[in-house]
Structure 1
Amino acid sequence: MTDILQRRDHDGIATLTLNRPAARNALSLALMEALDAQLLAIGRDTSIHVVILAANGPAFCAGHDLREIRATPTRDAYEQVFATCSRLMLRMVRLPKPIIAQVHGVATAAGCQLVATADLAVAAESARFATPGVNIGLFCSTPMVALTRAVSHKASMEMLLTGELVPAHRARDLGLVNRVVPDTELAEATLALARQIADKSPLTVAIGKEAFYRQADMDIEAAYAYAAEVMTRNMLAHDAAEGIDAFLAKRAPVWAGR
């Protein structure tokens, strides 16, 4: 663990906190690598069922560290930054555990990408979101990948072309975040959601998350065929039998994660 990224585990929930407050948690190469490494470790940690992605300081994340990027203005350096970012986002999607973004302040550019990539997002009422790269001559092309998969094409194109800040309630209406809560209740509300999910069978949640993203890009016939196969495999799992038997017997299930 590094100073720029903090991790706290409690009751099956890992909270990863971006810790570059003076830089508004800009995604330096080191921060992206640290976050990727922690997600890789969490994916192998059977004690963790849910991840909360939070941040210290006045902002959630202001995007890439532009000062760092411009310090080495070479093609190789640029490729390294954006390849690392893409690897991190794919790690988030493929992690067999849900990730909840806990958003305060601003989430812009690659910071907005983090929110759009997370499986769920809870935002403070004062939070704002933007993909403002167009304002500085750098179109938010990698954030666009996540944004267009989270909100409609018209809404994402407006954000990408105008760079305007979107308030939290509008972000919820667009589907970028799930819930908007008073600023003072952000941590509590996010933790409550995480606990609700952490109580489920970790195997079932992992199966469901993988299936969700895989079927989303299939045509409807292929999606149903795939989903039927997934449900058959799920039904053969111990936790499915335990869950159904517990429901029928009106008792609480005891998950084994298999």
Structure 2
Amino acid sequence: MSTAADAATTPAAANDEPLVLREDDDGVTILTLNRPRALNALSLPLLHALREALDDIREDKSVRAVILRGAGRGFCAGHDLKEITSHRDDPDGGRAFFETLFASCTDTMMAIRNLPVVVIAEVQGIATAAGCQLLSTCDMAVASTESKFGVNGVDAGLFCSTPMVALSRNVPRKVAMQMLTLGHMIGPDDARTYGLVNEVVAPDELADTAMAMARRAAQKSRAVVALGKEAFYRQVELGVEDAYSLMGRVIVDNLMMRDAEIGIACFIGKEKPEWEDR
């Protein structure tokens, strides 16, 4: 396993540690949000560092799956309210900074969605507000039995409008409204029941479980997963007839790929495929 300390250039603290740590392990990349003393709150520099790391992964063909985790005792506590408050004294009351901050957040979330490999959230401790948005944006998630989830910005007078976009595409509407309007927190078992996470495991099993999921994803054709992931998020927003029409074209395109030819031949011949990623 190697560690790429240049995954972020903005220091996290006085010791100049990167805001996002990167580790590469045989096709699996682990990205760690590295503001543990702030519960990995999404400051603007952290968002920039995460987007930079995601851009690097997009261009790195050796990466076949990603795990996203937080350093310390929490996954992510949402936006940095101290950073937000510090801009109240700006000449415009902070509006320009707020617009920049939330545009950057949206851009980072879309970078995860558009990444051509699976992204798995590994959640310990809390995932609240934009932290819940972050895990909701990931393709899959595994959580500790000690994790908690919420979009409780309403308690501080800030409705979780942007986290709502990702949350409402993961959980039933009435659950989302309960969380958003009442500040209702849910535990890991409810999170799994509602579809927010895939697996719930003991804290000492969390890293191994996430890695096992990532390793399984990494065994697949990168090109086929990229096609399938993009197609999934496109079709899920469509009506059924339009979705079938689009996916009919996608599956034919898939069949024309070299890896489909290899995979089907190996399945029939009971052999292990060696992907060409094309």
The partner residue of 1:133 within 153, 166, 174 is 153
Higher fraction of helix: 1
SS in 2 for 1:27: coil
Where does 1:217-256 land on structure 2 (aligned, <5 Å)? 217-256=237-276
Where does 1:168-183 land on structure 2 (aligned, <5 Å)? 168-183=188-203
1:107-148 per-residue CA deviation (whole Å, 9 max, x = no partner) reads: 000000001000000000110000010001000000000000
1:35-60 per-residue CA deviation (whole Å, 9 max, x = no partner) reads: 01110110111000111001111111
Over aligned residues, Cα RMSD in angstroms?
A: 0.6
C-alpha separation in 1, matches of 2:253 and 2:203: 42
Runs of at least 5 residues in structure 2 that lack an aligned partner in the other structure: 1-6, 9-17, 89-93
Q: Note if contact 2:20-2:53 (Cα within 8 Å) is conserved in structure 1.
A: no
| Same amino acid, percent of matched pairs | 48
SS in 1 for 2:30: strand
1:189 aligned partner:
209
SS in 2 for 1:102: strand
Where does 1:204-223 land on structure 2 (aligned, <5 Å)? 204-223=224-243
2:133 aligned partner:
113
Amino acid at match of 1:57: G
2:64 aligned partner:
49
Runs of 4+ in structure 1 deviating by more than 4 angstroms, as ranges, are: none
The Cα of 1:164 is off from its aligned counterpart by 2.1
The partner residue of 1:98 within 113, 118, 128 is 118
Amino acid at match of 1:54: R
SS in 2 for 1:150: coil
The partner residue of 1:148 within 154, 168, 172 is 168
Q: Note if contact 2:144-2:203 (Cα within 8 Å) is conserved in structure 1.
A: yes
1:69-118 per-residue CA deviation (whole Å, 9 max, x = no partner) reads: 11012110110111000101111111111100000000000000001000
* TM norm structure 1: 0.99
* TM norm structure 2: 0.92
Aligned length: 258
